[in-house]
Amino acid sequence: MGDKGVAVGPDPLSFEQVVAVARGGAEVVMTHEALRLIGEARAHIEELSALPRPVYGVSTGFGALATRHIAPEMRDQLQLNIVRSHAAGSGPEVEREVVRALMLLRLRTLATGRTGVQPVTARTLAAMLNAGITPQVFEHGSLGCSGDLAPLAHVALALIGEGFVRDAEGELKPAATALREAGLTPVKLAAKEGLALLNGTDGMLGMLVLAIQDLHRLITTADIAAAMSVEALLGTDRVFAADLQDLRPHPGQAVSAANLRALLAGSEIMESHRGPDCTRVQDAYSLRCTPQVNGAARDTLAHAELVAGRELASAIDNPVVLPDGRVESNGNFHGAPVAYVLDFLAIPAADVASMSERRTDRMLDKARSGGLPAFLADDPGVDSGHMIAQYTQAAIVSELKRLAAPASADSIPSSAMQEDHVSMGWNAARKLRNVVDGLTQVVAVEILTAARALDLRRPLRPGPATGAVVRRLRDAVPGPGPDRYLAPEIAAAVELVRDGALVAAAEAVTGPLA
């Protein structure tokens, strides 16, 4: 567990807090305000539960069965049944960080006092997070409407001591066993609670927040890769000048161009071809238009952050308990706002990868590389150099283009046409995770290739910033030479991209890159 606790109350969580709990294992602490609001809302639910008039989710069935009145003696069983029946996920197990994000975000909605759960239910969910107990959630089962029902149901199932979980060490065991070992008592659900635990967009939102963090790092890394490739290909940095970029005042474009200028400053390689003997009028689009593409990706990311921030300030349940005691049905569980930006982010991520692959291919083509050996091979013909590394990039880029097609444009009606339009936001989120992983790999191959090309430009030296990136890479991957087993080198480069080590190396010279 992390050392720094995250306070969970009615106020919005920050991106950093979500990531700290999901990835860093930070502990959570329920605020006094949260417990007060939860208690007040619970009192309203218990009062309504005693009345004869029907209240959705309290004294009626769910979805298409909402017209069925449930007798008082069956209402606790109703809540238990919805958890058991909705825990119907299938396929591969969802990653621990995603499940922890989902749990935290559902806890935060409970903390707003708009759901009507018992205080003990919220406290037990918080305790599960702190004990490192992660319910087993599966890939398939959410339509992204009425919330991420199946994924959240698997969490609720663990909360009542059923199903399976992974403990803090990752061991799979029955939920009842893990709760007992952690000193926790399974929750006994009462009126409204099963529904309150299931009805949220927490899974897709959690994956959006995690993707936003990853894409911030990856787009900066893509700027670094592009700078290295421009340098290796004897390109020009004049096109990145601020006055040229200001003619098209997109904020992301300005940031990317500023990064490129900082990264290429002081390069002997760049200086070597600035004179009158240089006959190249302009570079290919994959070099020259880097700020426009990476910048547009940044602007798309900024829009996604705006939407995610609004969602982090939301209380999503159906029905909701209002401060005056009313319990009202609503449509806030619909995942469209999140689904759209999840799909939107996949498009620029795929395109940034596509441009990265094109720069790599240019460095390997003797006719276009400005004097570099074919495929950067030690002895072209005997050696193949990075030929097949580019194939790997191309295979991934092709897959990313397919994954850029929107999931949210589809809808399959469910629940006997009561839920006749759904968002498919969970699918969009799962797809985006694959896109982020693919972009990581593609950018890593470009950096691996560009570093080799820069080494082959010796005795000319790259700029201090790009040179620092090459040196950091060389801690894990040797320099040019005869052909060798390449997959471990790609894997090492991928890890350096994923953990931010290459960005840190560049920033040690340039200062913070945006």
Residues 68-124: tens digit of each pLDDT: 777 777 778 888 999 999 999 999 999 999 999 999 999 999 999 999 999 999 999
pLDDT at 146 over 90: no
Q: What is the pLDDT of residue 279?
A: 63
Q: What is the pTM of this model?
A: 0.94
The residue-averaged pLDDT of 175-204 equals: 95
* Residue range 153-175: mean pLDDT, rounded: 98
Query: Does 439 or 272 have the greater pLDDT score?
Result: 439
Of the chain, the percentage scoring pLDDT greater than 70 comes to 96
pLDDT at residue 326 in the model: 86
Tell me the C-alpha distance between 179 and 175, whole Å: 6
Nearest to 446 by CA among 366, 514, 355, 348: 355
Catalytic residue of the set 56, 285, 340, 485: 56
Tell me how far apart the alpha carbons of residues 47 and 246 are, in angstroms, rounded to a whole number: 62
Residue 49 is predicted with a pLDDT of: 78
Is pLDDT at 33 greater than 80 in this prediction? yes
pLDDT greater at residue 44 or residue 162: 162
Predicted local distance difference test score (pLDDT) of residue 1: 41
**pLDDT (mean) for 267-291:** 86
H helix count then E strand count, the chain? 20, 9
- Tens digit of each residue's pLDDT (9 = 90 or more) over 290-303: 999 999 999 999 99
Average pLDDT, the chain: 93
Q: How much is the average pLDDT of 129-138?
A: 98
pLDDT in tens, 375-422: 999 999 999 999 999 999 999 999 999 999 998 888 777 776 667 677
Q: Bigger pLDDT: 272 or 348?
A: 348
Q: Is position 391 annotated as part of the catalytic site?
A: no
**Rounded to an integer, what distance in angstroms lies between the CA atom of residue 144 and that of residue 430?**
12
Q: Give the integer Cα–Cα distance in Å for 202 and 453.
A: 45
Q: What are phi and psi of 134, to 5 degrees?
A: -120, 110
Please, which residues bridge with residue 29 across strands? Answer: 7
Tokens standing for 104? 């935290």
Q: Which domains does the chain have, with CATH numbers?
A: 6-200 (1.10.275.10), 207-510 (1.20.200.10)
| pLDDT for residue 3 is more than 60 | no
Buried b (16+ CB within 10 A) or exposed e, 353-390: bbbbbbbbbbbbeeeebeebbbbbbbeeeebbbbbebb
What is the 3-state secondary structure of 305-327?
A: HHHHHHHHCCCCCCCEECCCCCE
pLDDT of 275 > 90? The answer is no
Strand 138-140, strand 134-135: pairing: unpaired
pLDDT at 419: 73
Which pLDDT belongs to residue 63?
62
DSSP element (H, E) containing 7: strand 6-8
- CA–CA separation, 86 vs 200, rounded Å? 14
Give the N- to C-terminal CA distance of the chain in Å, as an integer: 30
pLDDT number for residue 2: 43
C-alpha to C-alpha distance for 292 and 369, rounded to whole angstroms: 23
Choose the weakest-confidence range: 139-153, 355-369, 390-404, 469-483: 139-153
Q: What is the rounded distance in angstroms from the CA atom of residue 475 to the CA atom of residue 498?
A: 16
Tell me the CB-side half-sphere exposure of residue 180, using CA atoms within 13 A. Answer: 7
91 three-class SS: strand
What is the pLDDT at residue 256? 98
For residue 450, give the nearest of 231, 218, 223 by alpha carbon: 231
